[in-house]
Structure 1
């Protein structure tokens, strides 16, 4: 049977690859046949993911990168290209969720949300898209959030800058998709709901009240499990989705339906 998710010979770049969704996706890419460049700020954590990928027989490099700093991103992409020679897939996963509403959060926290969640995608894409255009091929997947289109009144989950910045990711995704389709580049976004990660483990997953309310409201009755985003990520990263452009796929157990 044909492997519709085959990534043999491909090179994937994953930002925010040191833990959580990014680390899971990087390993999924490797298991599908890709070599992987792991980008994040914590080298020790990246090396753990690198070792896991190398145990599958694929190649991986760990590159320290701050996606909010242009020189850091530029240097990282130069390292990736000098190592692998090409980039086929860019998974823009680095993100942050700062708590607070507009009546309580600081300007610094507001800016931090947009710097990481939106500017980070701009900068990584800035240094990958020209290479993809030259080759006439590329797959860009932006991790947004179901909270780009669905808000939550629960006090534990008030994150107005998160709502706004993840909505901006959708606009950026559509703009890039429309502009770069003629160059053989697809650009799509994914909207996860609640998945356990470093970002959520110390806040949402420690609040029994919030989890009970979340589970009661969600048709699936639970948060997402480890690895349940990988199928969607692989689909949008492989040639099976070659005619899928500018889309937003929500992975939330049906929560956006109610």
Structure 2
């Protein structure tokens, strides 16, 4: 990780859960992190908690679903910090509803956040990295549902799984486009976690979400942040295309039977 100290990272969905854990890991490693999220107050609180660490968090209010705000964020990074060296696409939304019963607004919201905002961010980051001819890294936070969709009947996820399938294809498409350039210095990785204990359950409207994790084997946000740091720490000749992380069965609560 030493080569990334002092470099600039952009992390979307940075105010809580996996995003906040990723921010903490990067800042503690000496990276200058621009955290993007809608909840500025949570970003500011996170920045305050990280004071005195080797890196720094720059909180920036941004709704990635709004293209103008997303583009303005990358413009700010270029003007104030010179450009982006690491992009972590973490922002994502889901909804507790059957796909066959969904409304267009909700479908559009999930696709715009989970797929379109990611594609725009990658485009802007690659342009920044290539314009400066620097070593760069793009990490897309995916899901195991982006590889083998098997939603349980009691836990519908709307168009979330299809959107994560798109992330899998998007990552591979960009990897091949980058590989076609013999001068390329940019790597891209998909990290696909299993169930992680975050507030996405509450946000998506899952009934009794606060008790959901009591009987379900799950990961913690830091586990995903550690995976991200591992990927960033690989040598330049190593390309981790996909990293899938699942909770060990032994972490099931005794209440699970």
TM-score norm. by structure 1 comes to 0.86
Partners of 1:242 and 1:52 in 2: how far apart?
A: 35
Distance 1:54 1:81, change over 3 A: farther
Q: Does 1:50 align with 2:47?
A: yes
Structure 2 counterpart of 1:28: 25
Of 148-157 and 179-188, the range deviating more from structure 2: 148-157
Q: Do 1:139 and 1:236's aligned partners in 2 also have CA atoms closer than 8 Å?
A: no
User: In the alignment, is the contact (CA less than 8 A) between 2:33 and 2:58 conserved in 1?
Assistant: yes
Give 3-state SS (helix, strand or coil) of 1:36's partner. strand
8 Å contact from structure 1 (residues 235, 241) kept in 2:
no
**1:147 matched to which residue of 2?**
145
Q: 1:91 to 1:47 in 2, by over 3 A?
A: same
Give the SS at the match of 1:54.
Answer: coil
How many residue pairs are counted as aligned between the two chains? Answer: 243
Q: Specify the alignment match of 1:206 in structure 2.
A: 209
**Pair 1:184–1:61, CA change in 2 (3 A):** same
Deviation per residue, 1:175-221 (Å, 9 max, x gap): 11111233211111111111111212563773757853xx4xxxxxx
Distance 1:209 1:45, change over 3 A: closer
Shift of 1:235: 2.2
Structure 2 partner of 1:251: 245
For structure 1, the 5+ residue unaligned runs are 216-221
**Cα distance change of structure 1 residues 208 and 58 upon mapping to structure 2, 3 Å threshold:** closer
Aligned to 1:219: none
Distance 1:226 1:171, change over 3 A: closer
CA shift for structure 1 position 152:
3.7
* Stretch deviating more after TM superposition (74-83 or 54-63): 54-63
Question: In structure 2, how many angstroms separate the alpha carbons of the residues matched to 1:5 and 1:156?
Answer: 45
In structure 1, how many angstroms separate the alpha carbons of the residues matched to 2:4 and 2:193? 23
Cα deviation digits, residues 142-198 of structure 1 (max 9, x gap)? 011111123344334211401100000011100111112332111111111111112
Alpha carbons 2:139, 2:228 under 8 Å: kept: yes
1:131-152 CA-to-partner distances (Å, cap 9, x unmatched) read: 1112242100001111112334
Query: Residues 109-129 of structure 1, C-alpha deviation per residue, up to 9 Å, x if partnerless?
Result: 111110000011011122211
> What secondary structure sits across from 1:39 in the alignment?
strand
Name 2:192's counterpart in structure 1: 191
Runs of 4+ aligned residues of structure 1 deviating over 6 Å after TM superposition are: none
Return the alpha-carbon distance in structure 1 between the equivalents of residues 151 and 189 of structure 2. Answer: 28
Equivalent positions of 1:118-157 (< 5 A) are 118-134=115-131, 135-157=133-155
